[in-house]
Amino acid sequence: MKLSAKTATLLVLALLVAVSPFFFPSGYYYRVGALIFVNGIAVTGIVILTGYAGQISLGHAGFAGIGAYACALAPVHLGLHPALAVVLGGAISAVLAFLVGRPILRLKGYYLGVATLGFGILVSMVLNNERELTRGPDGIEVPELGLRGVLKDWGLDLTNGEFWYFFCGLALILGAWLALNLYGSPTGRALRALHGSEVAARTVGVDVARMKLQAFVISAVYASVSGSLLALQNKFITPDVAGFMHSIEMVTMAVLGGVGSVLGAIFGAGILTLLPQVLTVFAEYEQLVLGLVMMVVMIFLREGLLPSILRRLRGTGE
């Protein structure tokens, strides 16, 4: 029996999440793994926006910032449970993406890039400057999610690292499942159609503006949840989460791995999250390496690493 691409992708992901810990040299790698998954979630959103619908955003870290700060602020100021704060962050991001996306998505190509960039910077500035609320650039502590304690009461005693590793792993698989469902669905087809030719998509009845907006809103929620999970596991967050570099990171990860494929993009997130951990020198030259990676991939591997490798393996390389 031939596995569908969707089932295969989900199986590979589940296996990676389940089996990788057996190869971890130390408990520290649970944390690295959890970071990869958190980035993987944001990047899956980029796949929907850029890979499916062909729209670019250079400001998605803004939504990650909203998700992160929702988890820092809502429990304290609104008395919300942190888990509900994740939902609130996602809802705020969705509404903002809807409002901001309506005018922005009329733009094309680099105009769209610049407009989304502006949005990201705006969020970042608010987080930096509203010191009364966010405590500015120094960051703010984030309450405990509390789920680990519940699991312990049920007899499942995980270390903090293990808990976040598996929790984020599950969240990523869920996110990938949604994105893969979307791919072959009527909505996904319409998104890929307008990516291929807006003119043709319109003539078959696709409301291009509306579909773009849907993709933008969905991907914003992905970024928001990613930001929330980052904040919750670090128990501390700074405005850097909404910074320009973070937006660029998301796009680079997706493009590096292959923006048209969920698994490819997550693979890209894995590489770019792992690299700075393995090569500590990399940390100082992060921006340089990101730029270099972007250029090399654009020139030599337009489809991204994973799709290019798979093509070679199947022997259908150019």
Return the structure tokens found at 202.
């319109």
CB atoms within 10 A of CB 89: 28
Burial pattern 265-295, b for ≥16 Cβ within 10 A else e, equals: bbbbbbebbeebeeeeeeeeeeeebbeebee
Q: Does 316 bind another protein (CB under 8 A)?
A: no
Please pick, from the candidates 42, 218, 225, 265, the single residue that binds another protein as defined by CB under 8 A. 218
CB of 179 to another protein, least distance (A): 8
Q: Does 43 bind another protein (CB under 8 A)?
A: no
Please pick, from the candidates 149, 196, 291, 317, the single residue that binds another protein as defined by CB under 8 A. 196
Query: In this chain, which stretch among 123-131, 159-167, 205-213, 284-292 interacts with another protein, using CB under 8 A?
Result: 205-213
- What are the start-end ranges of the E strands in the chain? 140-141, 236-237
Dihedral of CA atoms 77, 79, 85, 89 in degrees, nearest 10, equals -30
Number of residues that bind another protein (CB under 8 A): 28
Query: In this chain, which stretch among 66-74, 125-133, 178-186, 251-259 interacts with another protein, using CB under 8 A?
Result: 178-186
Beta bridge partners of 141: 236
Q: Rounded to an integer, what is the distance from CA 219 to the centroid of its chain?
A: 8
Nearest to 145 by CA among 232, 228, 64, 229: 232
Helix/strand/coil percent split, the chain, to 5: 80, 0, 20
* Conformational region of residue 243, where left means phi above 0, alpha means psi within -120 to 50, and beta covers everything else: beta
Please pick, from the candidates 93, 214, 233, 247, the single residue that binds another protein as defined by CB under 8 A. 214
Type of residue found at 19: V
Q: Does 187 bind another protein (CB under 8 A)?
A: yes
Of 152 and 210, which has the nearer Cβ to another protein?
210
Q: Does 184 bind another protein (CB under 8 A)?
A: yes
Q: Does 317 bind another protein (CB under 8 A)?
A: no
Please pick, from the candidates 72, 80, 140, 208, the single residue that binds another protein as defined by CB under 8 A. 208
CB of 4 to another protein, least distance (A): 12
Q: Does 200 bind another protein (CB under 8 A)?
A: yes
CB of 41 to another protein, least distance (A): 14
Binding site for another protein (CB under 8 A): 177-178, 181-182, 184-190, 192-193, 196-197, 199-208, 214, 218, 260
